[in-house]
């Protein structure tokens, strides 16, 4: 059985292949490698350079023997940064150009999906909150055209947040079963409104989520940040805690298969 970390970052300034080796030595086999901002950019070409960095990091991970599915998109925080330099219309136009670029990479089978899309995970002024939600709506419309999976970055989610995200998906006619709420937990899982939930693989999250008997995936949100070693969780966490959960009968083989194989395969379609 494969062991899949559903949300894993690498950084050119970080441990890169060493982190992948740790993951695999602990029993991991597959990574959903998620793009993150490596530099400030204010042009489409600047963003493309950042995406190329992610693709290079994915190549290095594959050379270590990991199977990798890559998702990329302009992070929602980048929308706020663009709006500080540009008008809101120009910021949104550039952001959506970046979303379109990533959608093209999905159609070319370079990416399996778009991520992270979403909205700020911290309080912002109402106009920026509404602006972020409108931009997410338009981003989902673009992603829908290429049948892309979408990984969502938002505030911590309970059922009300999941309901709101589902509503945005419905309004954009985006299929909710291709949406993944990353950095989730039991509160998001209890009523996910048709979205998939990837739980942060803490002991408490796994314990509580397993008892709900609902489908979920596991992630570390490993950042590979040299200034924050091991954040958010270390590379070994998902395989180690999966093994412990099986040994302690917290999950069974069928549940583990769903977490690590059937759900990721359904959403991302291809790891290579």
Q: What residues contact 87, with CB distance under 8 A and at least 6 apart?
A: none
Q: Whole domain around residue 86: which residue ranges?
A: 4-268
What distance in Å separates the CA atoms of residue 42 and residue 13, rounded to the nearest whole number?
Answer: 21
Mean pLDDT of the chain: 97
| pLDDT at residue 266, rounded to an integer | 97
pLDDT under 50: residue ranges of the chain: none
Residue holding tokens 């981003």?
A: 139
Count CA atoms closer than 13 A to 270's CA, side-chain side.
Answer: 11
Helix axes 203-212, 237-247, angle to 10 degrees: 50
Range 104-108 contact pairs with CB under 8 angstroms and sequence separation of 24 or more: 104/146, 105/51, 105/72, 106/143, 106/146, 106/147, 106/148, 107/146
For the stretch 44-57, pLDDT in tens is 999 999 999 999 99
Which CATH number is 117's domain given?
Answer: 3.20.20.140
- Whole-prediction pTM value? 0.97
For the stretch 156-207, pLDDT in tens is 999 999 999 999 999 999 999 999 999 999 999 999 999 999 999 999 999 9
The tally of domains found in the chain comes to 1
């Amino acid at each position: 059985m494969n062991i899949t970390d559903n949300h894993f970052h690498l950084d050119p300034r970080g441990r890169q292949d060493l982190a992948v080796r740790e993951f695999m030595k602990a029993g991991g086999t597959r990574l959903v490698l998620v793009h993150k901002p490596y530099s400030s950019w204010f042009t489409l070409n600047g963003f493309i350079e950042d995406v190329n960095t992610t693709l290079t990091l994915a190549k290095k991970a594959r050379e270590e023997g990991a199977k990798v599915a890559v998702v990329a998109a302009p992070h929602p925080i980048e929308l706020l940064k663009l709006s500080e330099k540009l008008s809101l219309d120009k910021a949104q136009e550039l952001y959506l150009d970046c979303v379109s670029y990533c959608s093209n990479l999905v159609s070319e089978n370079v990416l399996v999906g778009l991520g992270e899309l979403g909205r700020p995970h911290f309080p912002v002024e109402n106009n920026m909150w509404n602006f972020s939600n409108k931009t997410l709506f338009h981003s989902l419309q673009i992603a829908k055209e290429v049948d892309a999976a979408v990984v969502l970055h938002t505030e911590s989610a309970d059922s009300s947040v999941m309901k709101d995200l589902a509503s945005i998906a419905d309004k954009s006619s985006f299929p909710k079963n291709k949406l993944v709420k990353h950095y989730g937990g039991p509160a998001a899982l209890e009523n996910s409104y048709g979205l998939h939930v990837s739980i942060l693989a803490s002991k408490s999250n796994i314990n509580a989520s397993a008892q709900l008997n609902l489908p979920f995936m596991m992630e570390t949100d490993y950042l590979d940040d040299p200034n924050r070693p091991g954040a958010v969780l270390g590379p070994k966490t998902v395989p180690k805690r999966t093994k412990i959960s099986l040994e302690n009968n917290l999950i069974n083989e069928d549940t583990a298969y769903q977490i690590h194989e059937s759900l990721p395969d359904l959403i991302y379609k291809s790891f290579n």
